[in-house]
Amino acid sequence: MFKTKLINLFKPVALPCSASAALLVLRLITGVAFMIHGWGKIQTPFSWMPPEAPIPAFLQFLAALSEFGGGLALILGLLTPLASFGIFCTMSFAVNMHMVVMKHPFVSTAPGGMSYEPALVYWGISLLLLLTGAGKFSLDRKIFGER
C-alpha cells in the first residue's frame, strides 16, 4: 500500500496537451536557471558559503543538491515532485533570508539592488510543479503514468 501511494506521488496530473506543453517550457527554463545557480555550489557543496556564514555544511549541501540536481530533474521531468520539494524548501529559506533577515524589498528599484522577488517567483514555480507534476511531456509520465 505504501509503495502504491509513493508511486502515485510521482504521477503527474492528467492535463491537456497545451497545459503540458506550457509546463514543459516552464520546467526547461527553470531547470536551466537552477542548474546555472547550482553549478558553483555543487563544486564545493559543503562550503560554498563564506566561512563566517551561520549555515551548517549539511544545509549548504542540500541547497547545492536541490539547485543543481533539482534543475536537472526538472529538465528531464524525472521525480519532479521530489525535485520541486527540494527547490521549494531552498527557496523558502532564501525568501526568509531576503525578506525577514536582510529586510530587502519585494522589488528593488536601485540598479543591482537586492530583493526577494526572484526567490519568491521560483518558490511559486516549485509549488506549482510540486502539486501538478511534470505534465505529459516528462519521464515521470513515461515511468509512472498519470493521476
Q: 58-112: per-residue pLDDT in tens?
A: 999 999 999 999 999 999 999 999 999 999 999 999 999 999 999 999 999 988 8
- pLDDT tier for residue 1 given thresholds of 50, 70 and 90: confident
Residue 9: inside a domain, yes or no? no
Residue 125: inside a domain, yes or no? yes
Least confident of 8-17, 31-40, 60-69: 8-17
Tell me the pTM. 0.92
Residue 1: inside a domain, yes or no? no
Residue 6: inside a domain, yes or no? no
Q: Which domain holds residue 136?
A: 16-144
- The pLDDT value recorded for residue 137 is 97
Record the cell numbers describing residue 107, joined without a space. 522589488
Residue 139: inside a domain, yes or no? yes
Instruction: Provide the number of structural domains found in the chain.
Output: 1
Which burial class, exposed, middle or buried, applies to 109 when counting CB atoms under 10 A from its CB (0-12, 13-18, 19+)? exposed
